[in-house]
Chains A and B, each alone.
Chain A
Amino acid sequence: MIKMVGVEKKLGGQPVLQGVDLSIPVGKLTTIIGGSGSGKSVLLKHMIGLMQPDRGEVWVGDVEISRLSGTPLNDVRKRFAMLFQGAALFDSLSVFENVAFPLREKLRMKGPEVGRRVEEKLQEVGLEGMGHKFPAELSGGMRKRAGLARALVMEPEIILFDEPTTGLDPLMAKSIHDLIVKMHRRFGFTAIMVSHEIPEIFGISDWVAMLRKGKIALMATSAEFQRTTDPEIQEFISVGGTVALPGSLVG
């Protein structure tokens, strides 16, 4: 569904992406890993047209989006949702209004249907009864949950997760991972996650890709990825050790 061909990008004169070739499998959870500053978030932003490559192509379905803007790009973006690192909730709106925002502004939905859909999503992410709170009153984990509810409310085909567990304690990080997996299984969207959480990501991802020196060094299923013989990748992932798929997530 999403395909990147020879994507190159320089930021401030420094090459960040140097010919990325990547195909994201439909309906699967793919995690992109890599060192700090390797360009993982930049890669994610190219997939939704927040950044345009200097060279190369970005395909979403049968639409090449790297040179699109305005309405044609917005039409493609309707298929996406994104959970940002800091959740990117609108400060001036309550949690309820944040989740209702795309429904009201994009679908021009009004009345009790908005309330029903928002409450449903808040309940799914474990934030029932928290709709009246403002983002500043929420903990980091709760913000991520609210961000996830906002991402889910439009029932998108593809959801991008930009380091969804950054800044959270291990327990909260695990609960966010579990929530992402649960929602992914329930709604069947294509999930693309950028993460540093090694080895946890091997337990939840269908596919793992590693970005190294501006290129995809390896993309494989979770199990195959852990068996790679590439010494640099082994060194990178061995810091956290390997992990089997937790029993709670099997199936």
Chain B
Amino acid sequence: MTNVIERLGAWAVTRVGEMGRMLLFVLSAFAWLARPPLRFHQIMKQIHFIGYRSTFVVVLTAGFTGMVLALQGYYSLRKFGSEGLLGSAVALSMIRELGPVLAALMVTARAGSAMTAEIGIMRITEQIDALDTMAINPMQYLIAPKLVAAVIGVPLLVAIFDVVGIYGGSLVGVDLLGVSEGAYWNSVQSAVEWKDVYGGILKSISFGLIISWVCCYKGFYTRQSAEGLGSATTEAVVLSSVLILVGDYILTSLLL
């Protein structure tokens, strides 16, 4: 019994310690960000990597999500003779929930895992130590630009996700299932309010921060082996995804 309590205590101490290290990590990155020089080129490079290069997978996911949402929504709404509300059902689902969450999960899978692997390899091959020896702070050069890029890039991807998803819904609802085009777009326009868009933006900024924070942290403190790098990448993707879903619930409950 004492053994179990001891192990539980040790586990709790480790977790709390890890959370503390994670918090110090992100605070340190933001503190270095505030100090000159501003690495504008690095930030743009990361926005290109996280944002632009994730566009294809985000558009693909958004299109099919909107289409399946319209398909399901149409048959549910038809039972009540409310097919005209299909546009609002698709748009609100997209803007409030699916856009931020699914886009963030796709970015985690594509860019977040790559971030962890890149930083982890730099750690294992002593490239991060090399930065230190050149008196260049890795937090400022390597981590801070990724945090900024994700906070800028993810909301832009979510905006694309929302638009493509709503058009995907229109493709199925209007062009395939025969809902009136006017009714679809009118219902989108009347249902979506500024607070829905604002909530979506707030969520996507938070998710961008979560992805870059967790993935950079896991890469930066990866263990010095190929196995350690593999575990770090897996942990980064799993932890980011879980935090996105938990964060989505918390933010939704606060925003409603």
A102 interface residue per 8 A CB criterion: yes
A80 and B133: CB pair below 8 A? Answer: yes
A84 and B130: CB pair below 8 A? Answer: yes
For chain B, the count of residues having a C-beta within 8 Å of the partner chain is 15
A138 interface residue per 8 A CB criterion: no
**Chain A residue with minimal CB distance to B130?**
A88
B-chain residues with CB within 8 Å of residue A160 when the two chains form the complex: 133
Q: B129 contacts which of A75, A88, A89, A106 (Cβ < 8 Å)? A: A88
A-chain residues with CB within 8 Å of residue B176 when the two chains form the complex: none
A86 and B137: CB pair below 8 A? Answer: no
A154–B141 CA distance with the chains assembled, in angstroms: 19
Question: Nearest-CB distance from A171 to chain B (Å)?
Answer: 25
A78 interface residue per 8 A CB criterion: yes
Chain A's interface: helix, strand, loop or mixed, by majority? loop
Within 8 A of A (CB), among B99-149: 121-122, 125-127, 129-130, 132-137, 141
B134 and A105: CB pair below 8 A? Answer: yes
A-chain residues with CB within 8 Å of residue B126 when the two chains form the complex: 84-86, 88
Say whether, besides A105-B141, A108-B37, A77 and B125 are in contact (CB < 8 Å): no
A-chain residues with CB within 8 Å of residue B133 when the two chains form the complex: 48, 50, 77, 80-82, 160
For chain A, the count of residues having a C-beta within 8 Å of the partner chain is 25
Question: Nearest-CB distance from B186 to chain A (Å)?
Answer: 50
Say whether, besides A82-B130, A105-B141, A108-B37, A74 and B125 are in contact (CB < 8 Å): no
Total contacts A-B at CB 8 Å: 51
Say whether, besides A105-B141, A108-B37, A78 and B135 are in contact (CB < 8 Å): yes
A82–B130 CA distance with the chains assembled, in angstroms: 7
A84 and B135: CB pair below 8 A? Answer: no
Question: Nearest-CB distance from A29 to chain B (Å)?
Answer: 19
A-chain residues with CB within 8 Å of residue B141 when the two chains form the complex: 105
Question: Nearest-CB distance from A156 to chain B (Å)?
Answer: 10
Say whether, besides A105-B141, A108-B37, A86 and B125 are in contact (CB < 8 Å): yes
13 contacts between A and B (CB under 8 A): A49-B132, A74-B137, A77-B132, A81-B133, A82-B130, A84-B126, A86-B125, A88-B127, A89-B127, A91-B121, A91-B125, A105-B141, A106-B136
User: Nearest 6 A-B pairs (CB), nearest first?
Assistant: A74-B135, A88-B130, A88-B126, A77-B135, A82-B133, A84-B126
Q: For the A-B complex with A84-B126, A90-B127, A101-B134 known, give 20 more contacts whose Cβ atoms are closer than 8 Å.
A: A50-B132, A75-B135, A77-B134, A80-B133, A82-B133, A84-B129, A85-B126, A86-B125, A88-B130, A89-B127, A90-B122, A91-B121, A91-B127, A102-B134, A102-B136, A105-B134, A105-B136, A106-B134, A106-B135, A108-B37
